[in-house]
Chains A and B, each alone.
Chain A
Amino acid sequence: MINIQIQKQLDGPEGPMLLDLNLQVPMGQLITLYGPSGAGKTTTLKILSGLMQAETGKIMVADSTWLDTSEKICLKPQDREIGYVFQDYALFPNMSVRQNLKFAQPKDKDSGIVQELIQIMELENIQDRKPDTLSGGQQQRVALARALVQQPKILLLDEPLSALDLKIRLKLQDYLLQVHRKYGLTTFLISHDIGEIHRLSDWVVVLEEGSVVRQGSPSEIFINQNLSGKFKFKGEVLHIEKNEVVYIVTVLVHNEVVKIIAQESEVKNLGIGDAVIVASKAFNPIIYKVS
């Protein structure tokens, strides 16, 4: 188990705010921290990594104590066996991909790990190139590999894929899952992308103003459990038009525009710009492959 109990006074978007967490998560899971900007997600990862200090608190990872302010214990970041990947990859520009990985490798650790990661992350063809000649997706792949060279127990990912386009993001999600499983990591991810959260996470912790407001599996958190519709999306009303005895409501769902037939009683309280849920039974949609 990882046991996190931390308190820290922060300057939130609405003024001073207390980050006050009490979280217990099993090892080996992929946990997503979800919530609005300024809720304390990044601060939580920084306190876990040791880059930032909590005012009071305790962090236990399996049997080892990383932080215990009452005992004045606070392990240094390099002693915490953590890999950290941010949105903006900070690779050394003057080193090749392979040199970047080699540089991160602890002196006393297995030297085969660099080669293994180059294979797993499919970096063979770019291993001799400098970071500035790589695409965003390639650089982030290198950043992920570099975080894993140290063979961490815990991987911290702060919106690592949010700057990438969908296709590259999906590919990198596959790499993430693959290394998370292969190395038996416990991974903490910050993400706002619900699709990504569904694909990757075992557990979602929702943070608001420094506190945990909800936690559960991705389905429990993001699907309204009290309605049996399985084909369900959040959207925004773009247009409502009466057509004979029915209304046609145009709704933006992600970046697709869909149309829904509705009754007068249903559109009565609907306005342009309203957030809505579009739902149907799992029996109705038709599925077919497009490529």
Chain B
Amino acid sequence: MNSLQGTIVDIEVSGQLSLVTVEVHPKTFIKAIVVETPESADYLKKGQAINTLFKETEVVIGVGESFHISLQNRITGTIKSMDKGALLGKVVLETQMGEITSIISSSAIDQLKLRNNSPATALIKLNEVMLAKL
């Protein structure tokens, strides 16, 4: 499980859902949508220290400058290591917040021409991010 620590800076509530913005590094945010509200979960409050958790298999890897895609959780880094199997490959990104691991297909690693020490962006859908109180 990837884990980035941060602080809750914003909470938007609608019905039973909350969209929670967590600052994991100055000016770097992870957004998470959860089926909780500040009434149902006491950790949902601004200023709360929180862990954002997301599974390696849910991390999309992008290279290049701009992506016209819906994923808003974007963290840039440098590829630290790669481990390629027949079908799946593990890509470890070194970022300012620590390591982020992604499991993508080995053919995608080839197609994107990923190399160690080259820049890449980790993208995570906001519904894949879990929150854990610190």
Contact = CB atoms under 8 A, between A and B. Distances in A.
Contacts of B101: 263
Interface in A234-291: 244-246, 261, 263, 266, 279, 281-284
B130 A229 contact: yes
A266 B1 contact: yes
B59 to A, nearest CB: 12
A86 B55 CA distance: 46
B130 A281 contact: yes
B132 interface: yes
A228 interface: yes
Interface stretch (B71-79, B82-90, B114-122): B82-90
Interface stretch (B23-31, B33-41, B60-68): B33-41
A228 B85 contact: no
A102 interface: no
Contacts of B84: 245
A288 to B, nearest CB: 20
Interface string A65-93: 00000000000000000000000000000
B89 A226 contact: no
B60 to A, nearest CB: 16
Contact of B90 (A245, A266, A283): A245
B130 A228 contact: yes
Interface string B98-133: 000101000000000000000000000001111111
A198 interface: no
Given A246-B103, A282-B35, A226 B87 contact: no
A107 to B, nearest CB: 50
B83 A279 contact: no
A226 B130 contact: no
Given A225-B42, A281-B127, A230 B35 contact: yes
Query: Interface size bucket, B side?
Result: 20 to 34
Nearest to A261: B57
A229 to B, nearest CB: 5
A261 B88 CA distance: 12
A62 interface: no
A213 interface: no
Contact of B56 (A225, A228, A263): A263
B32 A228 contact: yes
Nearest to A230: B35
Contacts of B85: 244-245
Nearest to A226: B133
Contact of A227 (B57, B83, B103, B130): B130
A244 B133 CA distance: 32
Contacts of A228: 32, 34-36, 41, 130-132
Contacts of B83: 245
A245 B84 CA distance: 7
Contacts of A263: 1, 56, 101
B68 to A, nearest CB: 23
A244 B88 contact: yes
A279 B130 contact: yes
Contacts of B35: 228, 230, 282
Interface of B: 1, 32-36, 41-43, 53, 55-57, 83-90, 101, 103, 127-133
Given A225-B41, A245-B84, A246-B103, 19 more contacts: A226-B43, A226-B133, A227-B131, A227-B132, A227-B133, A228-B36, A228-B41, A228-B131, A229-B130, A245-B83, A245-B89, A261-B57, A266-B1, A279-B130, A281-B128, A282-B35, A283-B127, A283-B128, A284-B128
Which 3 residue pairs of A and B lie closest in terms of their CB atoms, listed nearest first? A244-B85, A245-B90, A226-B133
Interface of A: 225-230, 244-246, 261, 263, 266, 279, 281-284
